[in-house]
Each structure stands twice: as structure tokens, then as C-alpha cells.
Amino acid sequence: MIINNTQNLSINFPGKLVFGNGSLSGLPVEIIDAGCKNAFIVTIEPLLPALNDFIAQLTANNIVVSTSTAIVQEPSFSNFETLLSDAKIINPDIVIGIGGGSVLDIAKLIAAQIDNDQPLIEIVGIGLLKGRNIKLVCVPATSGTGSEVSPNAILVDDSDNQKKGIISPYLVPDIVYVDPLLTISVPPAITAATGLDALTHCLEAYTNRFAQPFIDIYALEGIRLIAANLVQAVKNGADENARYQVAMGSLLGGFCLGPVNTAGVHALSYPLGSTFHLAHGLSNALLLPYVMEYNMEASLSRYANVAIALGCKRGINDHETAKMGIEKVRSLIAECNVPAQLRDVDIPADAIPEMAKEALKIQRLLKNNPRHISEQDAIHIYNEAY
């Protein structure tokens, strides 16, 4: 693989990032000092008890607070339009997303679209959103998507049931608070799937055709942190140190998403989510070792470095080392009790040809893959994963 890292490197960091156990306690003062008067919080119902004190501090300072828990799965265009209508009535001066990736994606788009005359369909794609005027705060409650620091938002288009991306620097929040303690209550299965999603972000950024040395630093450290701590976070969710380290790994993976982005694993996982409604992280975990096997020979030295970051010892050559990395990923998936094959989640074998056709539409990600994936290649990978 020849890496093309001569193109411009463009990174849009959030205006402010605060990371640490218990850090959410500092966010109310931030919002109060900013002079905000009308807050719209997008979150999930299980988090509401943890947000009682946060909301009470805002209301005690004469800030009107409205909350929505309408997003309960990967959101569609129609889900977004419904919530946007509600948000326009509320007319907030700050939007706060507190939750998993779907919640954060919706919050980012709500903040951008409340007073924007561009319809949603016009901003689907890369760099088409013209701006954002409403203040935006994101607080992740899972360690996986990295949405809190990425310029991406993903929705399912109701018209063709395909996942579509809105990518814009205006979707990067003004303020990000990452409080790993919010992830303590996340169940083991979700902890595992989201953690493996974060691992995939880092791995696909490092082995990307458009890899960048600056992003390599984030990617390799993210791989190291997640591989070393995810099993403990899954098996002992109350372990604050494990939660902290996985949250940091997830954050680093999020920083990989704008400048470099993902590749074949994510492209091939999209049909699993849009057609069979599998959670995004689980979809990636099901395909990750099989895409790694397919890609390995195209980028042996990079896959060997991935193996070292995963905690493997270097073998006699890059090929042996890279193979150990793939086996390490398989063992992580097994230790996290995540399904390892498509048949384990009731994907029918006869769906594979159509899945391959749908995956090939995701060229914005497939172009990043270190090895070209044709429709027949996609069928082969799905069959291997079956």
C-alpha cells in the first residue's frame, strides 16, 4: 500500500475539551457563565437520574431547560425532522447532547439546523453545511463513537434505508465534557460493542490509504488503551480506571474521524445496521477481524504495528506479527462475549449478495481502504464472516 499523506491535514478541534472522572460537575457553571437562557438537552431516559443535579443547577440560575429522550436507536431522517420541529418551538440558545453516538449526532444536527434554511437533504455529504449559530455542547455517555469530537453525523435515509453522512466542521461542538463515570452504568454488551467500535476507528485510521503521521499518534495510543482495558471494563463495569482508559481511547478514536476517517470495516457494516438494525458497534465487531485478514498483505508493516499496539510481541517478521494482531482482536471479541459471526446474529446467508451491493455504495469510506474492495471481494468477506 502506498500511503497518500501529502494532501492537506485539516483538524477541527472542539473549542474546549474537559476530560476526567466527575468532570460533568463543572459544566453547569460553564453554561451559566456563557449567559445562556434557554437550553435544549437531547439525552436518553436511563441517564435522567444522573442529570438531576445538572438540570437543577441550570434552572436555579434562571435557565429554561427542555429535554428530549426521543432518540432510542440509530436515528432516521424522519426522527431528526420530528425532533427539529420540537426544537424550533423551544428556540434554545444552547443545545446539549448527553448520551451515545446517536444522541450526539442528533444534537449536533439540531444545533446546526434550528435556524438554517438548508433542508437536510442539501447538507448530506462532505462540507455542504454552511454554518451553525447555536451553541453546542456534547457529553458522551458511552465510550465508542467519538462523535463528541468528530465532524460527522450519521442518519438513516427513510427513502432508501441507507445510512447517510453529514460531514462538516460546523458539527464539531463548542464545548466537550468527557466524564468516564457516566459510562459506569452502561451494560457489558454495550460497553463491549462501543469499545470495539472505538478500536475500529483507531485501527482503520492507522491502516488508512490517507493515514497522517499526526493522526497515527492518536490512533496507536487509542488502540493500546482500548486493548489493554476493554475486557476489564466489560467484566467489571464499576472499575473507574478501566472506564477512564477506554473513554480516553474512544476520544482519541474520535479525533481520527475527521482528518482520516474509517474504511472497509465501516463500509461493510452499514448494511448490517440499515437492513438488519444491528447496533453500529456490533456490526463493526462482526467484520473487523475478517477485513483485517483481507487487508493485511496490502499493508504488512502497519498491521504489524497495530499488533504491537494491541499488546502482541513482535514476531520473526511483519507477516507473523500482523497475524498475531488479528488473533488478538479475535480473542478480545471472545473475551467480551461479542458474537463472532454473522450467523450468530441471524443474518441470512442469502442476504449477502444484496449486502455487498449496498456496501459498495459507501465509496466515501471504501476509497480509504488499504486494499481495493470490489463487489465480489465484499461477498467473499461476508462469507468469511458468516
**Average pLDDT for the chain:** 95
Cα separation, 106 vs 43, in Å, equals: 10
Element (H, E) at 161: none
Q: What are phi and psi of 209, to 5 degrees?
A: -60, -25
Same domain (yes/no): 165, 214: no
Look at residue 6 in the predicted model and tell me its pLDDT.
Answer: 65
Q: CA 291, 99, 265 angle in degrees (round to 5)?
A: 5
* CATH value at residue 368: 1.20.1090.10
Same domain (yes/no): 229, 369: yes
Cα separation, 300 vs 313, in Å, equals: 15
CA 21, 22, 23, 24 dihedral sign is: positive
Does residue 99 sit in helix, strand or coil? strand
Give 39-90 pLDDT, tens digit per residue: 999 999 999 999 999 999 999 999 999 999 999 888 899 999 999 999 999 9
Same domain (yes/no): 255, 146: no
Q: List, in order, residues 6 or more apart from 33 with CB less than 8 Å away.
A: none
> Locate cell 439525552: which residue?
43
Same domain (yes/no): 204, 286: yes
* CATH value at residue 27: 3.40.50.1970
Total number of residues shown for the chain: 386
Same domain (yes/no): 260, 372: yes
What is the domain extent for residue 371?
Answer: 188-385
Q: What residues of the chain score a pLDDT lower than 50?
A: none
Residue ending a domain, choose from 119, 152, 183: 183
Taking a C-beta distance cutoff of 8 angstroms, is the pair 20, 45 a contact? no
Give 290-343 pLDDT, tens digit per residue: 999 999 999 999 999 999 999 999 999 999 999 999 999 999 999 999 999 999
Does residue 270 sit in helix, strand or coil? helix
Same domain (yes/no): 93, 197: no
